[in-house]
Amino acid sequence: MTEGRERPRFLDLESLERRARDALDPMAWAYFSGGAERERLLEENVAAWERFRLYPRVLVDVSSVRSATSVLGAPVSLPVVVGPTALQRLAHPEGELATVRGAAAAGAAMVLSSLATCDLDEVAAAAGGAVLHMQVYVLKDRARTAEMVQRAAAAGYRALVFTVDIPVSGLRTREVEHGVRLPDHLGLPNVADPDSARHGWGFVEHVVREFDPALSLDDIAWLGGLSHLPVVVKGLCRADDALRCAEAGAAAVVVSNHGGRQLDDAPASAEVLREVADAVGGRMEVYVDGGIRRAADVVKALALGADAVLLGRPVLWALATGGAEGVMELLENFRSELERIMALCGARQPSEIEPSMVGRIGERPGERP
C-alpha cells in the first residue's frame, strides 16, 4: 500500500539512549551520561523545554518547507549542529571520524572537541565538505593552544569555539565512582596528551588542571589574533556576559551549561536563552545547547532567539549504536521532524520562526517575563 513512498522518519531518543547504554561499557556510559553533583541540571535542561508551548500560525502556504539555514555564513541543511564532545572513541572505534562522516552526509555542521581522540587534520580530511568548527580549551601552556588553533585554521576549520565554563572541573560524581580514564590505546592528539592524566583516578580532573583558570575577556582577542577564524564563546547564561563578549570581539555565543556537567545550580538553558538573545541577538549569532531532544525543542529555541542549536549526548548515543550511519540517521530524523513541526507552526524556513510562536506556560506567547 505504501510502496514507493518514503516511510516517515521519527526520533525516538529514549530508545536510542537505552540501546547506547547497552552497547557501552559502564565506564564510558558513566562519562557520557553523567552530570555534576546531584545531576539536577542534567534533568532540568531537558524538562525546561517542556515548559514552553508553540503557538502555530495557520492559513500559511506551507507546501514547501525547508530547514536549511546558515551558521556564521556557511550553508547547512538544518539549524542543528553537532556539538563538541570529548573522547568519542570511547563510544565507537572510529570516534570523531565516524561522527564527521555522519554530519557531512546529513549536511550538518560539527564542532570538534579539543579533547577529541582523532587528529584534527584527519577529521578535516574525512569531513567531505561539512562545516567544521574547532572547540578550544585554552591551556596554561599557551604555545600548545596556539599550535592547535593554527593547525585548525590551516586544515579548513571555519571558527573557533572558545569554551569558557570550565575553569575547574565540575564535581562529576559518576566519573569519580567509575574511575573514568583513557584506555592506553587512545590519545588526545590535538592537545598533546599529558601523560600524567593517564594515571590514578579522575582523568578529566587531571586534564582540566591543564586548562588556564585565569581566563579573561582579553582572551577572546588573544584567540582571535592567532588566526583569521571568528571566535564563538561557548558556555554562558547571562545577558551581561554575552554583551561583554560581543564588545570584546566575539562573533557568536553559545548559551550553555556544558550539559549540566559543571555548576549543578545554574539555570537550564531554555530558561535564559531569551534574555541573552534579546541582549545580543541583533549583533551576533546566538546558539544554545542543553537538553535538546525533540524537533519541537529546536523550534522553541529559534522562537526564543537562537540561530541554531547544538546537540551533545544524542549524537554520542547515535555514534555508539550506529557509527557514521547512526549519526546521519539521527540528523536526518531531526531534519524531517523539524520540517514537519515548522509546517505545523506555519514557518516555511527557519527565519519565519518568530518570538510570537513560543510562550512559557502561564505567559502569553512572545511575552517577556
Ligand X SMILES: Cc1cc2nc3c(=O)[nH]c(=O)nc-3n(C[C@H](O)[C@H](O)[C@H](O)COP(=O)(O)O)c2cc1C
Q: Is 163 in the site for ligand X (CB under 6 A)?
A: yes
Amino acid letter for position 244: R
Residue 267: strand, helix, or coil: coil
Residue 51 CB contacts under 8 Å (≥ 6 apart), including other chains: 270, 360, 361
366/359 Cα distance (integer angstroms): 6
Identify the burial level of 146 via C-beta atoms within 10 angstroms of its C-beta, where 0-12 means exposed, 13-18 middle and 19 or more buried.
middle
> Which of 83, 230, 326, 350: binder of ligand X (CB under 6 A)?
83
Q: Which is nearer to ligand X, 65 or 250 (CB)?
A: 250
∠ CA 251-256-257, rounded to 5°: 145
> Which of 267, 312, 346, 359: binder of ligand X (CB under 6 A)?
312
**Minimum distance from CB of 3 to ligand X (Å)?**
37
Strand stretches in the chain, DSSP E: 52-54, 69-71, 74-76, 80-82, 110-112, 132-136, 160-163, 231-236, 252-255, 285-289, 308-311, 358-360
**Minimum distance from CB of 83 to ligand X (Å)?**
4
**Minimum distance from CB of 342 to ligand X (Å)?**
21
286/271 Cα distance (integer angstroms): 15
**Minimum distance from CB of 188 to ligand X (Å)?**
10
Q: Is 259 in the site for ligand X (CB under 6 A)?
A: yes
Q: Is 258 annotated as catalytic?
A: yes
Q: Which stretch binds ligand X (CB under 6 A): 73-81, 209-217, 308-316, 350-358?
A: 308-316
Q: Is 292 in the site for ligand X (CB under 6 A)?
A: yes
Judged by CB under 6 A, the chain residues 195 through 254 that form the site for ligand X are: 234
Q: Is 256 in the site for ligand X (CB under 6 A)?
A: yes
Q: Is 321 in the site for ligand X (CB under 6 A)?
A: no
> Which of 289, 329, 332, 339: binder of ligand X (CB under 6 A)?
289
Q: Which stretch binds ligand X (CB under 6 A): 74-82, 97-105, 173-181, 258-266?
A: 258-266
How many residues lie near ligand X (CB under 6 A)?
23
Q: Is 95 in the site for ligand X (CB under 6 A)?
A: no
Q: Which stretch binds ligand X (CB under 6 A): 72-80, 257-265, 275-283, 344-352?
A: 257-265
Per-residue burial over 205-241, b if 16 or more Cβ lie within 10 Å, else e, is: bbbbebbeeebebebbebbbebbebbbbbbbbbebeb
Per-residue burial over 35-69, b if 16 or more Cβ lie within 10 Å, else e, is: bbbebebbebbbebbeebbbeebeeeebeebebeb
> Which of 79, 107, 291, 350: binder of ligand X (CB under 6 A)?
291
**Minimum distance from CB of 364 to ligand X (Å)?**
28
C-beta nearest to ligand X: residue? 312
288/282 Cα distance (integer angstroms): 16
Judged by CB under 6 A, the chain residues 103 through 142 that form the site for ligand X are: 113, 115, 135
Task: Answer whether 225's CB lies under 8 Å from 160's CB.
Answer: no
Q: Which positions are annotated as active-site residues?
A: 258
Footprint on this chain of ligand X (rule: CB under 6 A): 31-32, 45, 83-86, 113, 115, 135, 163, 234, 256, 258-259, 261, 289-292, 311-313
